[in-house]
């Protein structure tokens, strides 16, 4: 997180230098000065332009060094090739926060990359924090402040925004519905979302945070910052570059690949972020969080102009995990008098038959109020008609809905309508921030579901988060096992490593010769499995290097010589270091437990279906360690294969704690041993109420 004083200088400076600002003015002039003046910024402005003179009534300084104070913030407005020189002026002047607008650095050619590197070096030497390059900078609507060189429609809304593209900056009025404070980090070479979301989360004027993220370089720090923010405020994230083609496009946009999407997805989930699929969903959710401070539960009342729309609304609720409220008897009795005897007075409530006898507005008011008073209703979805022109609209209930909803501020009321005059309804209904309008019932239900998710699932969970504590650690052994090694760890080292961390492994031992093998097998107990140990053999089964289900000493002797003979024939000269003799386990459920290092987030744990199913079902869940026990449990339960662990068809259930302990141990192992770049237990066998690893692949960096 940026120090408070730096964040203030960046987003609410008392003085600003616009270095290299154009002297042109008017339409299409791209003058940051003109935009800033138009916004009514109250701080001291110092335009710097080599021509000097006056621009829009402000004295223009020919050099930043002439400016009579050290400004809180400098914005370098010049094109790429002039930037370094002007940045040096900033350093010489002692400016500590600089925004660089120009494109063509990491997002450009070889020369641009070198230039950006030089900028970063100068910044480091002079203690300067940089936003950009390739950014429009800041909007702070509470400070009449904005660094854009292009004017734009800019409604104020209590939303904190970070983004990595001008599209989002200029489009935030549409994509996020408005702006409170916005930070565009552009190429994100220094100041990033991680530095600012904590400040946005703590700003009492803001109700929700919107993140547009294309790439990230500091996954771990980001997760800390995001968890912190999500515990304070809803954080909505729109991650782009989520497909290979998008990621490729991102690399030419900001010079960075955007990372593996499913890892981001896991990280966002862990942090309690609300990930959205597109900007429309972001705007919809933001609107809900700006309008409603909470929601008591997920039981929804539906008031509809028609039965057909009631069906749509019910579908939408279920689809997004909401429940159809069951109104109290008292509520229904109170409303039944409105309906003809043949009509159904229930939830969803098709109020048209009532309206035909008692007037549309009257019925709408009474039904809505009865639902809002009902202790068994937590929120209401209203559907009305917008099919008449405003002048002729004898069914207009926008004022009625607003008025009634306003009396029950703890119960969200969202509205949708049918018919082309919906923009009138949207405007009318939202004018005092009491209710939220959505184009479809599906979008209305999705917004309520996000409210429920944030207030009842995320907020508590993120706050509750505790690191997993393990009873049993032997990292000393692990360090000895790994010392001085690279590449693939031998099978026996790999199994020992697991054991050092308390991960159960099918009983095993290494034997140098048949004598040792026989002794081992006796100790372990038949049946056993035998596997060759060799640094040269990658696919053991291809050369006959695995023998399963050996039932007695005679079979072991036969198998031993047969195996050596086959290997000698199929891979002559392979160095052989004896065999592993392992307990042969009964059949069970094959699981996968593993970890890979991600360039953004570091170690990423994987759990899911193992064996042949790993690739086919893709039934894998990911998490970034460390995990709480609860997170580990969620990680396991997210997979389909986990349902099989609960016992079925006479198969004994596997104690979930055994698996949680395995995850915890693996988490410890990879966090303590950074030399491990990849580890896979496949299969980890669940059988007879137990789990045990049969095999492990460990790759060292």
Residues 506-565, interacting with its own copies (CB under 8 A): 541
- Residues 297 to 316 in contact with its own copies, rule: CB under 8 A: 304-312, 314-316
Asked if 383 touches its own copies (CB under 8 A), the answer is yes
Asked if 324 touches its own copies (CB under 8 A), the answer is yes
Residue at token pair 């695995």: 546
Nearest CB to its own copies, comparing residues 103 and 141: 103
Q: Are 517 and 579 in contact (CB under 8 A)?
A: yes
Asked if 48 touches its own copies (CB under 8 A), the answer is no
Stretch that binds its own copies, among 190-198, 362-370, 385-393, 480-488 (CB under 8 A): 385-393
Nearest CB to its own copies, comparing residues 346 and 555: 346
Asked if 452 touches its own copies (CB under 8 A), the answer is no
Nearest CB to its own copies, comparing residues 242 and 434: 242
CA–CA gap between residue 571 and residue 544 (Å, rounded): 10
Please, which residues have CB within 8 angstroms of residue 5's CB and are 6 or more apart in sequence? none
In the complex, the smallest distance separating the C-beta of residue 689 from its own copies, rounded to whole angstroms, is 17
Stretch that binds its own copies, among 163-171, 426-434, 527-535, 543-551 (CB under 8 A): 163-171
Count other C-beta atoms under 10 Å from residue 598's C-beta.
18
In the complex, the smallest distance separating the C-beta of residue 239 from its own copies, rounded to whole angstroms, is 9
Q: Tell me the CA distances in angstroms from 342 to 336, 338, 345, 353, 358, one per residue in order.
A: 11, 12, 9, 9, 15
CA–CA gap between residue 692 and residue 504 (Å, rounded): 5
Find out whether the peptide bond into 79 is cis, omega within 30 degrees of 0: no
CA–CA gap between residue 332 and residue 371 (Å, rounded): 9
Interface pick for its own copies out of 49, 240, 398, 529 (rule CB under 8 A)? 240
Stretch that binds its own copies, among 100-108, 290-298, 545-553, 690-698 (CB under 8 A): 100-108
Asked if 428 touches its own copies (CB under 8 A), the answer is no
Interface pick for its own copies out of 142, 387, 526, 687 (rule CB under 8 A)? 387
In the complex, the smallest distance separating the C-beta of residue 470 from its own copies, rounded to whole angstroms, is 30
Stretch that binds its own copies, among 107-115, 364-372, 450-458, 672-680 (CB under 8 A): 107-115
Asked if 430 touches its own copies (CB under 8 A), the answer is no
Nearest CB to its own copies, comparing residues 240 and 667: 240
Q: Are 516 and 578 in contact (CB under 8 A)?
A: yes
Asked if 392 touches its own copies (CB under 8 A), the answer is yes
Interface pick for its own copies out of 82, 84, 326, 418 (rule CB under 8 A)? 418
Nearest CB to its own copies, comparing residues 227 and 253: 253
DSSP per residue over 542-609, as a string?
A: GGT-EEEEE-SHHHHHHHHHHHHHHHHHHSTT-----EEEEEPPPP-EEEEEEEEEETTTEEEEEEEE
DSSP per residue over 159-200, as a string?
A: EEEEESSHHHHHHHHHHTS-EEEEEE-TT-SSS-HHHHHHHH
Interface pick for its own copies out of 401, 641, 670, 685 (rule CB under 8 A)? 641
Nearest CB to its own copies, comparing residues 441 and 481: 441
CA–CA gap between residue 582 and residue 341 (Å, rounded): 76
Nearest CB to its own copies, comparing residues 423 and 570: 423
CA–CA gap between residue 436 and residue 426 (Å, rounded): 8
Asked if 163 touches its own copies (CB under 8 A), the answer is yes
Asked if 241 touches its own copies (CB under 8 A), the answer is yes
Query: x-or-dash pattern for its own copies, window 605-624, by CB under 8 A?
Result: -------x--xxx-------
Nearest CB to its own copies, comparing residues 301 and 509: 301
Residue at token pair 């050996």: 550
In the complex, the smallest distance separating the C-beta of residue 423 from its own copies, rounded to whole angstroms, is 8
In the complex, the smallest distance separating the C-beta of residue 496 from its own copies, rounded to whole angstroms, is 27
In the complex, the smallest distance separating the C-beta of residue 2 from its own copies, rounded to whole angstroms, is 23
Of 684, 660, 667, 682, whose CA–CA distance to 624 is shortest? Answer: 667
Residue at token pair 């339960």: 637
CA–CA gap between residue 508 and residue 491 (Å, rounded): 11
Nearest CB to its own copies, comparing residues 581 and 644: 644
Dmax over Cα atoms in the chain, in whole Å? Answer: 101
Of 143, 66, 137, whose CA–CA distance to 102 is shortest? Answer: 137
Interface pick for its own copies out of 65, 114, 153, 538 (rule CB under 8 A)? 153
Stretch that binds its own copies, among 49-57, 170-178, 227-235, 594-602 (CB under 8 A): 170-178
Asked if 214 touches its own copies (CB under 8 A), the answer is yes
Asked if 422 touches its own copies (CB under 8 A), the answer is yes
Stretch that binds its own copies, among 92-100, 149-157, 495-503, 663-671 (CB under 8 A): 149-157
Nearest CB to its own copies, comparing residues 272 and 544: 544
DSSP per residue over 435-451, as a string?
A: SEE-SSHHHHHHHHHHH
Interface pick for its own copies out of 386, 534, 582, 667 (rule CB under 8 A)? 386
Stretch that binds its own copies, among 339-347, 476-484, 591-599, 666-674 (CB under 8 A): 339-347
Asked if 585 touches its own copies (CB under 8 A), the answer is no
Burial label for 121, CB within 10 Å (0-12, 13-18, 19+), is exposed
Stretch that binds its own copies, among 352-360, 406-414, 495-503, 570-578 (CB under 8 A): 352-360
The sign of the torsion formed by the CA atoms of 8, 10, 11, 15 equals positive
Radius of gyration of the chain (CA): 32
- Residues 357 to 376 in contact with its own copies, rule: CB under 8 A: none
Asked if 649 touches its own copies (CB under 8 A), the answer is yes
Stretch that binds its own copies, among 87-95, 239-247, 362-370, 465-473 (CB under 8 A): 239-247
3-state helix, strand, coil in the chain (%, to 5): 40, 20, 35
Element (H, E) at 74: strand 73-76
Interface pick for its own copies out of 66, 111, 121, 568 (rule CB under 8 A)? 111
- Residues 187 to 206 in contact with its own copies, rule: CB under 8 A: none
Asked if 280 touches its own copies (CB under 8 A), the answer is yes
Asked if 377 touches its own copies (CB under 8 A), the answer is no
Asked if 688 touches its own copies (CB under 8 A), the answer is no
Bridge-based pairing state of the strands 274-275 and 235-239:
parallel
- Residues 253 to 272 in contact with its own copies, rule: CB under 8 A: 253-254, 258
In the complex, the smallest distance separating the C-beta of residue 631 from its own copies, rounded to whole angstroms, is 23
- Residues 457 to 476 in contact with its own copies, rule: CB under 8 A: none
CA trace torsion 622, 260, 106, 109 (10° rounding) = 160
Instruction: For residue 313, give both structure tokens.
Output: 């609304």
Asked if 27 touches its own copies (CB under 8 A), the answer is yes
Stretch that binds its own copies, among 89-97, 335-343, 452-460, 514-522 (CB under 8 A): 335-343
State the number of binding residues for its own copies (CB under 8 A). 107
How many alpha carbons fall within 13 Å on the CB side of residue 239?
A: 22
CA–CA gap between residue 400 and residue 558 (Å, rounded): 89
Asked if 340 touches its own copies (CB under 8 A), the answer is yes
Asked if 687 touches its own copies (CB under 8 A), the answer is no
Burial label for 289, CB within 10 Å (0-12, 13-18, 19+), is buried
CA–CA gap between residue 136 and residue 166 (Å, rounded): 6
CA–CA gap between residue 454 and residue 229 (Å, rounded): 12
């Amino acid at each position: 997180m940026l120090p408070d004083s730096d964040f203030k200088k960046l987003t609410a400076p008392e003085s600003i230098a616009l270095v290299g600002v154009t002297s042109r003015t008017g339409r299409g002039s791209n003058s940051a000065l003109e935009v800033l003046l138009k916004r009514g910024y109250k701080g001291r402005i110092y335009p710097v332009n080599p021509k000097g003179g006056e621009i829009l009534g402000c004295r223009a300084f020919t050099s930043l060094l002439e400016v009579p104070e050290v400004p809180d913030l400098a914005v370098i407005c010049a094109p790429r090739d002039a930037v370094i020189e002007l940045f040096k002026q900033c350093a010489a002047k002692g400016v500590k926060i600089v925004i660089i607008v120009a494109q063509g650095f990491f997002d450009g050619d070889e020369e641009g990359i070198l230039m950006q590197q030089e900028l970063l070096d100068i910044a480091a030497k002079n203690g300067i924090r940089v936003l950009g390059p390739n950014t429009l900078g800041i909007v702070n609507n509470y400070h009449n402040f904005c660094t854009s060189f292009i004017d734009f429609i800019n409604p104020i809304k209590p939303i904190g925004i970070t983004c990595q593209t001008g599209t989002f900056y200029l489009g935030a009025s549409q994509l996020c519905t408005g702006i409170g404070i916005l930070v565009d980090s552009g190429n994100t070479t220094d100041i990033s979302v991680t530095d600012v979301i904590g400040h946005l989360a703590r700003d009492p004027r803001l109700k929700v945070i919107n993140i547009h993220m294309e790439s990230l370089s500091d996954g771990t720090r980001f997760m800390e910052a995001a968890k912190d923010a999500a515990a304070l405020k809803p954080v909505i994230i729109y991650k782009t570059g989520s497909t290979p083609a998008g990621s490729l496009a991102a690399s030419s946009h900001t010079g960075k690949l955007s990372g593996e999407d499913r890892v981001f997805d896991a990280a966002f989930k862990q942090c309690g972020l609300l990930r959205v699929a597109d900007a429309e969903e972001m705007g919809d959710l933001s609107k809900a969080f700006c309008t409603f401070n909470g929601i008591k539960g997920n039981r929804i009342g539906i008031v509809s102009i028609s039965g057909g729309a009631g069906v749509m609304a019910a579908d939408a609720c279920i689809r997004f995990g909401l429940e159809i409220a069951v109104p109290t008897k008292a509520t229904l009795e109170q409303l039944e008098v409105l309906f003809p005897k043949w009509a159904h007075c229930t939830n969803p409530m098709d109020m048209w038959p009532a309206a035909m006898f008692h007037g549309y507005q009257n019925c709408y008011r009474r039904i809505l109020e009865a639902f809002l008073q009902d202790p068994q209703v937590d929120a209401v979805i209203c559907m009305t008609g917008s099919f008449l022109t405003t002048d002729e609209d004898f069914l207009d209930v926008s004022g009625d809905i607003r008025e009634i909803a306003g009396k029950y501020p703890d119960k969200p009321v969202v509205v949708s309508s049918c018919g082309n005059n919906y923009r009138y309804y949207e405007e009318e209904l939202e004018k005092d921030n009491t209710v939220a309008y959505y184009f479809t019932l599906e979008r209305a239900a999705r917004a309520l579901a996000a409210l429920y998710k944030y207030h009842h699932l995320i907020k508590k969970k993120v706050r509750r988060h505790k690191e997993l504590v393990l009873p049993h650690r032997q990292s000393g052994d692990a360090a000895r096992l790994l010392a001085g090694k690279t590449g693939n760890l031998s099978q026996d080292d790999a199994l020992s490593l697991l054991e050092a961390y308390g991960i159960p492994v099918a009983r095993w031992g290494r034997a140098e010769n048949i004598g040792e093998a026989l002794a081992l097998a006796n100790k372990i107990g038949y049946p056993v499995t035998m596997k060759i140990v060799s640094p040269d053999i990658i696919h053991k089964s291809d050369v006959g290097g695995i023998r399963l289900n050996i039932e007695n000493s005679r079979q072991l002797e036969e198998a031993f010589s047969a195996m050596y003979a086959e290997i000698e024939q199929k891979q002559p000269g392979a160095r052989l270091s004896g065999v592993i003799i392992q307990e042969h386990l009964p059949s069970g459920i094959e699981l996968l437990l593993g970890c890979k290092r991600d360039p953004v987030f570091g170690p990423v744990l994987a759990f899911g279906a193992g064996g042949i199913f790993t690739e086919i079902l893709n039934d894998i869940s990911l998490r970034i360690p460390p995990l709480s026990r609860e997170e580990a449990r969620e990680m396991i339960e997210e997979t389909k294969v986990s349902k099989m662990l609960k016992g079925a068809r006479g198969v004994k259930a596997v104690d979930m704690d055994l698996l949680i302990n395995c995850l915890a141990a693996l988490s410890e192992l990879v966090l303590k041993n950074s030399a491990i770049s990849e580890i896979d237990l496949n299969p980890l066998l669940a059988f007879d109420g137990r789990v045990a690893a049969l095999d492990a692949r460990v790759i060292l960096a």
